[in-house]
């Protein structure tokens, strides 16, 4: 049956899969009314070879006759539709059945089983040639009936004045009672249709529409105790997780209801229009997208809590924009799936967007690099906000790691903004990650220092390091390292147990004063490492 254009804007429809494969909404939108087809049809290059049959009901060709029949059925003009049916030689059981009644039953059968492609039907008064059928018969389609396939034929019959016209074959009409028994409204449908106002919504008759609403209501009522139990179990295992409660009571329940109605939908014997609408899977896709987005929000909350517990606040900050991007991608995929189900080619849509997307990608190349740099900084965490680090030749405290720039406060209190893509490629030295700070003063003693005094100095410096409350026990050493060019060089190594630089400076000051006191006690002086070169003229006296 042809589709009326008034409901095409209604795209949030039943998301129900059926076993049959009805035409898509796109196919039905492209199917034009007879008037539009005549206006849009190209003018023939040559006149038709046979004269046109003049007929009040335009039954001169298979296509025009079928167009007239569909138009009459669409407007419930069954008396007119009877003129398109060949009522000759029907079975005896149908002898007293009015053709108008057969037309009404035939409408329901066509609505629910066969989509007529008018464009494939012949416009010739002689029908379609070369189809393997007798010249007086054209095949419209086939309808399954149990293990059989019932052929719907247009048949060329005499009108009574010597002219031949096309009607629905009497062989097809003879199968209408059997077809109606399988595809008709049934006892309940007939009872409801006689007691409800007559209307049609989304390809559903009034009783079918009410039945579908009752299916949704029943599925929702069934979900109430089931999901109340699930929420109770979730509350026991995760008492503080309100997001999980919303996930169970919202998207999960909707998906359950939609799946229930999806399985029960064939019971109402929907029309092809309703099945084509259902094949859009709008509510199913909506439920799946909602479940996916809510599930990602649950995952983000759990990851965020884990990162917070590990002290990785930066990673937690990055989760929100990353999951937002992922949710947008899910919505886009859902939209493309919906369009694909309606009959539109998602690949064509993507190809159309590809050129524009390429231009945007090229323009946003630097921004994408900086975003990837931010992700790298957040995930690998070579530096964090508040860390003192060296990057390249600069040093400073990291104040912020944004999606585009990293802001650093230098020792001179100036602020440097460096792009993440550049910053992540630099050699980064993170001083704040030290668990302790090395203390290793350079002690260069004079060459005239006696060995005994040198030994005493090293022993007392070792004791001073061990006695200090902030020095680490190991490693700790004081060694006579080597004879330098102009000094006896001592190797002093110990670690201050602190990560705060001001505390380190305080401890280093105390140790420096202790070492200086030891040197003064033993009368040992440090040498000046400045090298002096005497310049003397030939024959001159150095004294």
- Helices 186-195 and 206-237 pack at an angle, to 10 degrees, of 110
| Torsion sign over Cα 359, 360, 364, 365 | negative
What confidence tens digit (pLDDT) does each residue in 141-164 have?
A: 999 988 889 999 999 999 878 788
Looking at 2.30.30.60, 1.20.58.1180, 3.40.50.300, 1.10.260.30, the CATH number of the domain 374-433 comes to: 2.30.30.60
The reported pLDDT for the residue numbered 514 is 92
pTM of the entire structure? 0.53
Q: Is the pLDDT of residue 108 over 80?
A: yes
Q: Report which of residues 3 and 400 the model is more confident about.
A: 400
Where residue 488 falls (left for φ over 0; alpha for ψ -120 to 50; beta otherwise) is beta
What confidence tens digit (pLDDT) does each residue in 3-13 have?
A: 333 333 333 33
Per-domain residue ranges for the chain? 32-184, 204-363, 374-433, 437-521
Cβ atoms of 364 and 371 within 8 Å: the answer is no
Q: Report which of residues 381 and 228 the model is more confident about.
A: 228
Q: Which long-range contacts (CB under 8 A, 24 or more apart) does 344-352 make?
A: 344/26
Q: Is the pLDDT of residue 533 over 60?
A: no
Omega within 30 of 0 (cis) for the link into 475 = yes
Q: Can you tell me whether residue 522 is helix, strand or coil?
A: coil
Q: Which long-range contacts (CB under 8 A, 24 or more apart) does 455-461 make?
A: 456/522, 457/518, 457/519, 457/522, 457/524, 458/490, 460/518, 460/521, 461/490, 461/492, 461/514, 461/515, 461/518
What confidence tens digit (pLDDT) does each residue in 185-239 have?
A: 888 887 887 778 878 777 788 888 888 899 999 999 998 999 889 888 888 887 7
What confidence tens digit (pLDDT) does each residue in 416-440 have?
A: 888 888 888 888 888 888 888 889 8
Cβ atoms of 15 and 280 within 8 Å: the answer is yes
Per-residue burial over 500-532, b = 16 or more CB atoms within 10 Å of its CB, e = otherwise: eeeebeebeeebeebbeebbeeeebebbeeeee
Residues sharing a CB contact under 8 Å with residue 427, sequence separation 6 or more, in sequence order: 391, 392
- pLDDT band, residue 72 (cuts 50/70/90): very high
Residues sharing a CB contact under 8 Å with residue 479, sequence separation 6 or more, in sequence order: 458, 490, 491
- pLDDT band, residue 513 (cuts 50/70/90): very high
- pLDDT band, residue 80 (cuts 50/70/90): very high
Residues sharing a CB contact under 8 Å with residue 159, sequence separation 6 or more, in sequence order: 55, 165
| C-alpha to C-alpha distances, 328 to 273, 290, 296, 321, 340, nearest whole angstrom | 31, 12, 11, 11, 18
DSSP state at residue 84: G
DSSP string, 93-149: GGTTS-HHHHHHHHHHHHHHH----GGGS--STT--TTSSS-TTEEEEEEEEETTEE
The reported pLDDT for the residue numbered 314 is 63
Cβ atoms of 465 and 511 within 8 Å: the answer is yes
Q: Rounded to whole angstroms, how far apart are CA atoms 353 and 42? A: 32
Q: Rounded to whole angstroms, how far apart are CA atoms 472 and 211? A: 81
Pick from 524, 526, 521, 365: nearest CA to 442: 526
DSSP string, 182-206: HHS-HHHHHHHHHHS---EETTEEH
Does domain 437-521 fall under CATH 3.40.50.720? My reply is no
Q: Is the pLDDT of residue 35 over 70?
A: no
Q: Rounded to whole angstroms, how far apart are CA atoms 357 and 372? A: 19
Angle at 511 between CA 507 and CA 516, to 5 degrees: 150
- Helices 253-264 and 206-237 pack at an angle, to 10 degrees, of 140
Structure tokens at 42: 């190209």
Pick from 435, 447, 535, 540: nearest CA to 495: 435
Q: Rounded to whole angstroms, how far apart are CA atoms 308 and 245? A: 22
What confidence tens digit (pLDDT) does each residue in 316-334 have?
A: 666 777 788 888 888 888 8
> Mean pLDDT in the chain?
79
DSSP state at residue 526: B
């Amino acid at each position: 049956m042809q589709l009326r254009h008034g409901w095409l804007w209604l795209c949030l429809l039943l998301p129900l899969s059926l076993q049959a494969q009805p035409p898509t909404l796109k196919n039905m939108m492209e199917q034009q009314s007879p008037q539009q087809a005549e206006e849009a049809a190209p003018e023939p290059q040559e006149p038709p070879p046979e004269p046109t049959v003049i007929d009040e009901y335009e039954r001169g060709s298979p296509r025009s006759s079928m167009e007239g029949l569909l138009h009459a059925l669409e407007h419930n003009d069954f008396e007119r539709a009877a003129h398109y049916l060949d009522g000759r030689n029907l079975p005896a059981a149908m002898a007293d059945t009015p053709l108008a009644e057969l037309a009404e039953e035939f409408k329901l059968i066509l609505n629910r089983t066969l989509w007529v492609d008018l464009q494939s039907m012949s416009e010739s008064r002689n029908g379609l040639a070369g189809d393997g059928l007798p010249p007086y018969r054209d095949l419209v389609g086939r309808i399954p009936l149990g293990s059989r396939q019932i052929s719907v034929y247009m048949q060329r019959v005499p009108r009574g004045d010597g002219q031949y016209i096309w009607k629905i074959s009497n062989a097809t009409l003879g199968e209408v009672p059997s077809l109606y028994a399988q595809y008709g409204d049934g006892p309940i449908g007939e009872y409801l249709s006689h007691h409800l106002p007559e209307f049609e919504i989304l390809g559903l008759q009034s009783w079918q529409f009410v039945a579908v609403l009752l299916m949704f209501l029943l599925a929702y009522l069934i979900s109430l105790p089931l999901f109340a139990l699930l929420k109770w179990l979730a509350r026991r295992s995760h008492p503080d997780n309100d997001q999980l409660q919303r996930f169970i009571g919202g998207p999960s329940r909707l998906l359950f209801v939609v799946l229930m109605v999806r399985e029960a939908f064939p019971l109402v014997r929907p029309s092809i229009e309703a099945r084509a609408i259902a094949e859009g899977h709008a509510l199913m896709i909506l439920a799946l997208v909602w479940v996916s987005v809510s599930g990602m929000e649950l995952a983000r909350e759990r990851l965020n809590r884990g990162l917070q517990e590990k002290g990785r606040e930066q990673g937690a900050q990055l989760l929100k924009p990353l999951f937002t991007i992922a949710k947008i991608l899910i919505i886009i995929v859902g939209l493309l799936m919906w369009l694909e189900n309606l009959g539109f080619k998602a690949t064509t849509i993507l190809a159309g967007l590809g050129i524009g997307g390429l231009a945007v990608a090229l323009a946003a190349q630097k921004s994408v690099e900086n975003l990837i740099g931010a992700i790298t900084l957040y995930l690998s965490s070579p530096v964090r906000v508040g860390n003192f680090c060296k990057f390249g030749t600069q040093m400073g405290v990291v104040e912020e790691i944004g999606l585009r720039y990293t802001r650093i406060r230098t020792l001179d209190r100036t602020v440097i903004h460096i792009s993440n893509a550049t910053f992540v490629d630099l050699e980064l030295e993170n001083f704040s990650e030290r668990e302790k700070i090395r203390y290793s003063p350079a002690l260069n003693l004079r060459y005239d220092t006696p060995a005994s005094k040198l030994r005493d100095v090293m022993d007392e410096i070792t004791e001073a390091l061990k006695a200090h409350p902030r020095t680490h026990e190991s490693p700790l050493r004081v060694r006579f390292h080597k004879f330098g060019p102009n000094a006896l060089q001592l190797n002093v190594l110990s670690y201050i147990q602190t990560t705060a630089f001001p505390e380190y400076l305080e401890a280093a000051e105390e140790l420096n004063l202790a070492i200086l006191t030891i040197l003064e006690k033993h009368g040992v002086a440090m040498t000046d490492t400045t090298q002096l070169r005497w310049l003397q003229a030939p024959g001159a006296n150095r004294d």
